[in-house]
Chain A
Amino acid sequence: KNEVEQSPQNLTAQEGEFITINCSYSVGISALHWLQQHPGGGIVSLFMLSSGKKKHGRLIATINIQEKHSSLHITASHPRDSAVYICAVFSGGGADGLTFGKGTHLIIQP
């Protein structure tokens, strides 16, 4: 089973700061997902990566397959970015093939 580690577990920053959330995994994967969960809310898919880099608005996700590592960056952070960010890796095995990280709880203060 793939082991997925996210860091930091908790992050509090000021509005406007550049945010980085990291995800490392132990076994080679086919794809990596970044998910967002607002307090009391559902889970929304932000990115699916298999290589390189993707950008959507102020969010940027990168993956280094050789290093088994991915980062999620938020530029010009805003209080509405406050949420739990979850990394999930798809290894192809098991029932759904997905292993989820425990999440990073991000708070952006105005």
Chain B
Amino acid sequence: NAGVTQTPKFQVLKTGQSMTLQCAQDMNHNSMYWYRQDPGMGLRLIYYSASEGTTDKGEVPNGYNVSRLNKREFSLRLESAAPSQTSVYFCASSVDRVYGYTFGSGTRLTVV
């Protein structure tokens, strides 16, 4: 099925461990995004990539790095996980920012 695929769906990390969240889209979208969702808060942008080869910081980039491997794939890396990074992470892509986004199913990350 066409769309945005995120892996893994669930992950538990110990403080200080590292991991990479994977995201791939097959809709030929130029722009891709990583958001985090926390209770009582709206979705917040971590990083985005307007096109292959470019990445830029969003609202809450500290503690994260990203790679736009090719047009399809946009990964999010936590180098040294902290409990404050416990959240649900969503990847999204868009062909045009105005007309809408397609979201992945989310990754529920717990850092203990």
Contacts and interface: CB of A to CB of B under 8 A. Distances in A.
A101 B40 CA distance: 10
Report the contact-size class of chain A (Cβ under 8 Å from the partner). Answer: 20 to 34
A41 B105 CA distance: 6
B102 interface: yes
Interface in A1-46: 4, 30-31, 33, 35, 41-45
B105 A44 contact: no
Contacts of A4: 42
B104 A100 contact: no
A27 to B, nearest CB: 15
A44 B102 CA distance: 7
A45 B102 contact: yes
Interface residues of B, number: 25
Given A4-B42, A42-B90, A95 B58 contact: yes
A100 B43 contact: yes
A102 interface: yes
A33 B92 CA distance: 14
Contact of B103 (A42, A90, A101, A103): A42
B98 A95 contact: no
Contact of B40 (A33, A50, A102): A102
Interface of B: 31, 33, 40-45, 48, 56-59, 90, 92, 97-106
Interface of A: 4, 30-31, 33, 35, 41-45, 48, 50, 86, 88, 90, 92, 94-103
